Amino acid sequence: MYIEIGAFDAKAKLSQLLQEVKHGRRYTITLRGEPVADLVPSESAAFPDVHTAIENMRSIRKVKGIKNKELASWIAEGRK
């Protein structure tokens, strides 16, 4: 979802907008109410975050000593 913001406000708040875009927020910049540009995260900046997330998930310790039936009940609880 894109948030609309006028060009004047976008210019005045550019640093703040860039920080928010860095965290995934998206903006449509308007000029006199007409959309003229989208401010979105850079594709090249997104890849390191994906790789970091994958590395972090792989580094999570595996749970040992849990029976399949108990694990299945935990999963079922999360789906309710």
pLDDT per residue as tens digits for the range 30-64: 999 999 999 998 877 656 677 778 888 888 887 78
CATH number of 2-78: 3.40.1620.10
Query: What residue segments make up the domains of the chain, in order of their start?
Result: 2-78
| Short-list 32, 34, 37, 43, CA closest to 17 | 37
pTM score, whole prediction? 0.55
pLDDT per residue as tens digits for the range 2-23: 999 999 999 999 999 999 998 8
Which residue reads 């913001």 in tokens?
5
